[in-house]
């Protein structure tokens, strides 16, 4: 069930809250899920921090003997993987979850149970990757897993398997979460909250969600191809079989550079909220900051190859990517100047969140400047794979993202817990962390320029790197101490709470209008927003009047408020994914079991709240309509299909760039059967026709007709799959197995994934056919058939592309 | 046995029923066009005289089929503009990335592929 603004008029009783552990395991409340994300991310942050400390202790002096080379490889791989995917991203997600519905005046996210599923998928995915330590097989090929280090001949044992399966697992969580927040922000904003009235943090969440939707499919494909190489013997990245390790680098960085913005944009959003509050001024140049955020995301897809200047792409490609990388510094610079102008002339209140926000600006600027240096290919060539790069990325991700997120923790802690954090301890934490990080990471610039490569587990004394490495290790210990100060501060705050009140900072945005912590329903009445900085202007109205209509109504319930019920299915579905992932390392039977359980879990989530009888479901459907008048589920489906464009785009690109590079036959012209495929194409096109007739029938209330057309579509899909099975079988008999050559690798994987999508569509449509036959779907639920139809037509248009690019253009 | 069907409600903007602008007749015409375009694709493939323009012609025909399905069967022509943005913007980015990737791999000498493999 989704959340809609129709809930402003009390419709049903508030669901009884479960208590204790069960309440947390089955919660679908965005605030609780936000806390779960936050606590889990902090635990993983501690794990990643311990890994970093071991790395630093090993490197503190020449000829270090603290750990061995293999352990060192595992630690730096897991440190990067943990900090990026299990600490910083989910810490941002904690803020998205807790704050976005509150900031936009909503009662929850658009898809509360999918939100819970996203969290549990992240949590189990994190446990899965880290469980590799228990079997002595932690990933050891670096956090960007360059081929061919990750290929079977060079990575024996399950190290890399844990990594690639874990990242696929986490990718599911990220994409589902991004769909949810995109839909929530587009469709659940309070009346009057136009785009240019949204808090900056909501903007950065929206842009981050778009980046996640578009950046994760390429890495998903890259990981799938790596999985095929490792599990089934293909050669996507193996030169011996015709493949190219550079394909991995391209696909990884097409994801990896937007990932940098996925990590930094939320922190920028936090800082953009903190600075105006503590400067007691509106954000300077709000509109330009919004446009700069969007431009960063757009340009972020055109700079990936600056990570690859050292591979020899040639002068034109180097120049193009160098130029685009320099250009992306412009919107980033716009933001920095706007933040400075916000602080300039403000009535500053020096509280801990402001310290961290100002620290963010200074440290991120240093990281940004060294980033611009990397935009120059000749300079970058000298710095590649040296400690200079390690310094740069830590100034961005530690000095930038982490300090920004700590600003957010100090800022919103009173809202989330109802308690204050100690100011003196907060400042001690800040100064220790700031000094510690500069001691740790600034010397790495020198080390890099002195020629120290990254990822070496020890070095000889005569290189002269000992002093700066010792300084860096002392700094890392300082960071460790600062983290302990924060943990102590948090512990004291929760054990001896000092009530914070609803609005301890004299805040500007809607979350400060409700009690701390907020009630489960957030707002007793959904607010109507008149201006940007609505709450501030309501408390301090100017000549243009207040920002909100009625402040008191937000906290005074007028009757029962309908909220989604807790559900165990999200955690169970995520557990099924865990079984599926673990199965790949254990036995094919466990994979099948995990797959079946996952399908069961997805169906359970989807069907949990489908009413037993269609006509009774009228009210149920209203909660799925947002303030825009659009259905959440339809908007989410379109966003998903947008993401799928990148997925199939990457698969088709892989096929095209490997076309004609097979080292042996058969070649496409020898084996592709155009007449047969033309018939199956005709069949699939006609299934789209019957599908749209089914949608039209359910919309006009003709359930019998809808069932008939859906059945025709299902049969059409099955016939298409039959053709595909026949085609594959024929090819195998003619000597084209999966591993025969590069053409077979790319063809079977691409066409096979399309077939898998058709299979999912057949299952989906068949289940809708059953529901219609049972009388559970009527015209008011036509959107359920409509979104299945969108998926089906999408599969159809993908086939239109494949038929032309693969079969006809040989 | 399906349940008795209630009277159809008035369409809510942006919901499934809101894009009923295209009727069954339109869908049938689109289906006919799709078949025709597919027949043309296959015909072009088999006509030796068209070898020189095979790729552009096939790409145009495929784009036309793609657009017909997206506009009429997926209702982008009738539905809320946001749905178009959510689909077309990623489509453009995916196409741009694909072109850039192919460009980087094919235009320059160093592709990472072994000698003799066409790199």
Chain B residue numbers touching A615 (CB-CB < 8 A): 3, 6
> What are A376-401's pLDDT values in tens digits?
999 999 999 999 999 999 999 999 99
User: In chain A, how many H helices and how many E strands?
Assistant: 26, 0
Report the chain B residue with the minimal C-alpha distance to residue A217.
B94
- The pLDDT of residue A14 is 52
- Residues A106-141 as b/e (b if ≥16 CB within 10 A, e otherwise) read bbbbbbbbbbbbbbbbbbbbbebbbbbbeeebbbbb
C-beta of residue A459 within 8 angstroms of C-beta of residue A448: no
List the single residue in B38, B66, B112 with the smallest CB-CB distance to A246.
B112
Residue holding tokens 């398997």?
Answer: A161
Asked if the Cβ–Cβ distance from A630 to B31 is below 8 Å, we say no
Report the chain A residue with the minimal C-alpha distance to residue B23.
A696
Is B73 an 8 Å CB contact of chain A?
A: yes
Residues 86-105 in B contacting A (C-alpha not used; CB under 8 Å): 86-87, 89-91, 93-98, 100-105
Asked if the Cβ–Cβ distance from B3 to A613 is below 8 Å, we say yes
Residue holding tokens 């009445």?
Answer: A525
Cα of B94 to nearest chain A Cα, Å: 5
Is B62 an 8 Å CB contact of chain A?
A: yes
Asked if the Cβ–Cβ distance from A615 to B6 is below 8 Å, we say yes
Burial class (CB in 10 A: 0-12, 13-18, 19+), A259: buried
C-beta of residue A283 within 8 angstroms of C-beta of residue A289: yes
Rounded to whole angstroms, how far apart are CA atoms A495 and A76?
A: 36
Instruction: Please provide residue A574's backbone torsions phi and psi, each rounded to the nearest 5 degrees.
Output: -65, -35
Q: Is the pLDDT of residue A601 over 90?
A: yes
Asked if the Cβ–Cβ distance from B8 to A700 is below 8 Å, we say yes
What are the tokens at A482? 């600062």
List the single residue in A646, A785, A809 with the smallest CB-CB distance to B55.
A809
Q: What is the Cα A307 distance to its own chain's centre? A: 21
Cα of A78 to nearest chain B Cα, Å: 28
Chain A / chain B CB contacts < 8 angstroms: 241
* pTM for this model (two decimals): 0.93
Domain boundaries, chain B: 24-79, 80-110
Asked if the Cβ–Cβ distance from B16 to A695 is below 8 Å, we say yes
Q: How confident is the model at residue A621 (pLDDT cuts 50, 70, 90)?
A: low
Q: How confident is the model at residue B115 (pLDDT cuts 50, 70, 90)?
A: very low
Best residue in A661, A674, A698, A707 for a mutation probing chain B (most B CBs within 10 Å):
A661
Rounded to whole angstroms, how far apart are CA atoms A95 and A211?
A: 17
Asked if the Cβ–Cβ distance from A642 to B89 is below 8 Å, we say yes
Chain B residue numbers touching A213 (CB-CB < 8 A): 90
Angle, nearest 10°, between helix axes A159-187 and A89-103? 10
- The pLDDT of residue A552 is 83
Q: How confident is the model at residue B10 (pLDDT cuts 50, 70, 90)?
A: very low
C-beta of residue A44 within 8 angstroms of C-beta of residue A91: no
Average pLDDT value for residue range A711-729: 97
Asked if the Cβ–Cβ distance from B42 to A808 is below 8 Å, we say yes
- The pLDDT of residue A178 is 97
**A577 membership: H or E segment, kind and range:** helix A569-586
**Nearest of A467, A490, A164, A157 to residue A352 by alpha carbon:** A490
Cα of B57 to nearest chain A Cα, Å: 10
Is B13 an 8 Å CB contact of chain A?
A: yes
Average pLDDT value for residue range A777-800: 94
Chain A residue numbers touching B117 (CB-CB < 8 A): 242, 661, 663
For chain A, which domains are there? 27-510 (1.20.210.10), 609-808 (1.20.120.80)
List the single residue in A646, A678, A686 with the smallest CB-CB distance to B42.
A678
Is B3 an 8 Å CB contact of chain A?
A: yes
**Nearest of A40, A43, A36, A72 to residue A56 by alpha carbon:** A72
- The pLDDT of residue A612 is 73
Q: Any idea of the CA torsion for A214, A404, A109, A34, to the nearest 10 degrees?
A: 120
Q: Is the pLDDT of residue B12 over 60?
A: no
Rounded to whole angstroms, how far apart are CA atoms A540 and A548?
A: 11
Q: Is the pLDDT of residue B114 over 60?
A: no
Burial class (CB in 10 A: 0-12, 13-18, 19+), A57: middle
Cα of B49 to nearest chain A Cα, Å: 15
Taken in order A295, A296, A301, A303, the sign of the CA dihedral is positive
- The pLDDT of residue A12 is 39
Q: Is A506 helix (H, G, I), strand (E, B) or coil?
A: coil
**Residue positions of A annotated with a catalytic role:** 79, 108, 143, 173-174, 257, 259, 261, 272, 306-307, 332, 335, 454
What are the tokens at A682? 């005709």
Q: Is the pLDDT of residue B117 over 80?
A: no
Average pLDDT value for residue range B23-33: 93
Residues in chain A: 810
Which residues lie closer than 8 Å to A564 by C-beta, 6 or more apart? A1, A3, A15, A28, A108, A112, A113
C-beta of residue A183 within 8 angstroms of C-beta of residue A636: yes
Question: What ipTM did this prediction achieve?
Answer: 0.91
Chain A residue numbers touching B46 (CB-CB < 8 A): 674
Report the chain B residue with the minimal C-alpha distance to residue A647.
B94
Report the chain B residue with the minimal C-alpha distance to residue A612.
B3
Mean pLDDT of the residues in chain A: 93
Cα of A303 to nearest chain B Cα, Å: 11
Q: How confident is the model at residue A475 (pLDDT cuts 50, 70, 90)?
A: very high
Chain B residue numbers touching A780 (CB-CB < 8 A): 9
Instruction: Please provide residue A419's backbone torsions phi and psi, each rounded to the nearest 5 degrees.
Output: -120, 155
Chain A residue numbers touching B109 (CB-CB < 8 A): 314
Question: Lowest-confidence range among A277-281, A658-662, A791-795?
Answer: A658-662
Chain A residue numbers touching B91 (CB-CB < 8 A): 642, 645
Chain A residue numbers touching B54 (CB-CB < 8 A): 808-809
Instruction: Please provide residue A386's backbone torsions phi and psi, each rounded to the nearest 5 degrees.
Output: -105, 175
């Amino acid at each position: 069930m989704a959340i809609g603004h129709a809930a402003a008029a009390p419709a049903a009783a508030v669901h009884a809250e479960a208590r204790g552990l069960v309440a947390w395991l089955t919660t679908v409340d965005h605030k609780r899920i936000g806390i779960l994300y936050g606590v889990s991310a902090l635990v993983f942050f501690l794990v990643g921090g311990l890994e970093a400390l071991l790395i630093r202790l090993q490197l503190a002096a020449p000829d270090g003997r603290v750990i061995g080379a293999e352990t060192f490889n595992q630690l730096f791989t897991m440190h990067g993987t943990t900090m990026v995917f299990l600490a910083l991203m989910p810490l941002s997600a904690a803020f998205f979850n807790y704050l976005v519905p509150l900031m936009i005046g909503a009662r929850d996210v658009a898809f509360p149970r999918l939100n819970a599923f996203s969290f549990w998928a992240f949590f189990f995915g994190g446990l899965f990757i880290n469980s590799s330590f228990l079997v002595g097989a932690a990933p050891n090929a670096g956090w960007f897993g360059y081929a061919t280090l990750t290929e079977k001949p060079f990575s024996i044992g399950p190290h890399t398997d844990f990594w690639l399966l874990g990242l696929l697992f986490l990718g599911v969580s990220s994409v589902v979460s991004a769909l949810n927040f995109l839909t929530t922000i587009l469709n659940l904003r309070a009346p009057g909250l136009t785009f240019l009235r949204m808090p900056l943090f909501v903007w950065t969440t929206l842009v981050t969600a778009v980046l996640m939707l578009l950046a994760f499919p390429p890495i998903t494909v890259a990981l799938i191809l790596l999985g095929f190489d490792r599990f089934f013997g293909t050669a996507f990245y193996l030169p011996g079989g015709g493949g190219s390790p550079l394909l991995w680098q391209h696909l990884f960085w097409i994801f990896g550079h937007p990932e940098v913005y996925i990590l930094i944009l939320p922190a920028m959003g936090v800082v953009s909220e903190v600075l105006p509050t503590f400067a007691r001024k509106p954000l300077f140049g709000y509109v330009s900051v919004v446009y700069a955020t969007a431009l960063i995301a757009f340009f972020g897809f055109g700079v990936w190859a600056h990570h690859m200047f050292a591979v020899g792409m040639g002068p034109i490609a180097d120049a193009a990517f160098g130029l685009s990388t320099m250009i992306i510094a412009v919107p980033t610079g716009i933001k920095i100047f706007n933040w400075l102008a916000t602080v300039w002339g403000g009535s500053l209140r020096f509280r801990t969140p402001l310290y961290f926000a100002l620290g963010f600006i200074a440290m991120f600027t240093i990281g940004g400047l060294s980033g611009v240096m990397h935009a120059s290919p000749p300079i970058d060539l000298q710095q590649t794979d040296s400690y200079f790069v390690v310094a740069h990325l830590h100034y961005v991700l530690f000095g930038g993202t982490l300090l920004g997120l700590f600003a957010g923790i100090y800022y919103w802690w009173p809202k989330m817990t109802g308690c204050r954090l100690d100011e003196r301890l907060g400042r001690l934490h800040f100064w220790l962390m700031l000094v510690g990080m500069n001691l740790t990471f600034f010397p790495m610039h020198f080390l890099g320029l002195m020629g120290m490569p990254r990822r070496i587990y020890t070095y000889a004394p005569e290189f002269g790197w000992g002093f700066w490495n010792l300084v860096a290790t002392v700094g890392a210990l300082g960071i460790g101490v600062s983290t302990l100060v924060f943990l102590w501060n948090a512990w004291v705050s929760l054990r001896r709470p000092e009530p914070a009140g609803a609005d301890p900072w004299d805040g500007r945005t809607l979350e400060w209008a409700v009690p701390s912590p907020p009630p489960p329903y957030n707002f007793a009445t959904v607010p109507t927003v008149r201006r940007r900085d609505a709450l501030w202007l309501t408390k301090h109205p100017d000549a243009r009047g207040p920002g909100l209509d009625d402040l008191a109504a937000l906290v005074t319930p007028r009757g029962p408020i309908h909220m989604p019920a807790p559900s165990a299915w999200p955690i169970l579905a995520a557990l099924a994914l865990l079984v599926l992932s673990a199965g790949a390392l254990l036995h094919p039977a466990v994979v099948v079991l995990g797959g079946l359980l996952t399908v069961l879990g997805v169906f359970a989530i989807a069907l949990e709240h489908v009413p037993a009888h269609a006509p009774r479901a009228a009210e149920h459907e209203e909660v799925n309509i947002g303030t825009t008048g659009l259905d959440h589920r339809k908007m989410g489906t379109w966003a998903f299909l947008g993401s799928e464009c990148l997925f199939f785009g990457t698969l088709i690109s892989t096929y095209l760039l490997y076309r004609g590079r097979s080292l042996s036959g058969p070649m496409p012209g020898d084996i592709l059967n155009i007449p047969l495929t033309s018939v199956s194409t005709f069949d699939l096109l006609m299934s789209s026709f019957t599908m749209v007739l089914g949608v039209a029938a359910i919309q006009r209330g003709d359930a019998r007709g809808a069932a008939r057309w859906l059945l025709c579509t299902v049969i059409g899909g099955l016939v298409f799959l039959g053709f595909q099975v026949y085609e594959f079988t024929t090819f195998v008999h003619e000597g084209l197995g999966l591993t025969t050559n590069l053409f077979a690798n790319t063809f079977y994987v691409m066409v096979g994934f399309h077939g898998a999508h058709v299979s999912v569509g057949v299952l989906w449509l068949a289940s809708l056919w059953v529901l219609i036959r049972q009388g559970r779907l009527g015209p008011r639920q036509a959107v359920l058939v409509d979104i299945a139809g969108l998926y089906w037509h999408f599969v159809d248009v993908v086939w239109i592309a494949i038929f032309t690019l693969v079969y006809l253009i040989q | 046995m399906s349940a008795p069907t209630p009277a159809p409600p008035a369409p809510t903007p942006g919901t499934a029923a809101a894009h009923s602008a295209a009727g069954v007749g339109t869908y049938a015409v689109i289906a006919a066009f799709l078949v025709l375009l597919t027949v043309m694709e296959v015909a072009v493939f088999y006509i030796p005289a068209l070898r020189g323009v095979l790729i552009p012609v096939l790409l145009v025909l495929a784009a036309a089929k793609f657009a017909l399905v997206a506009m009429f069967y997926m209702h982008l022509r009738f539905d809320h503009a946001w749905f178009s943005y959510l689909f077309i913007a990623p489509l453009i980015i995916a196409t741009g990335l694909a072109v850039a990737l192919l460009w980087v791999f094919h235009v320059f000498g160093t592709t990472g592929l072994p000698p003799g493999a066409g790199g």
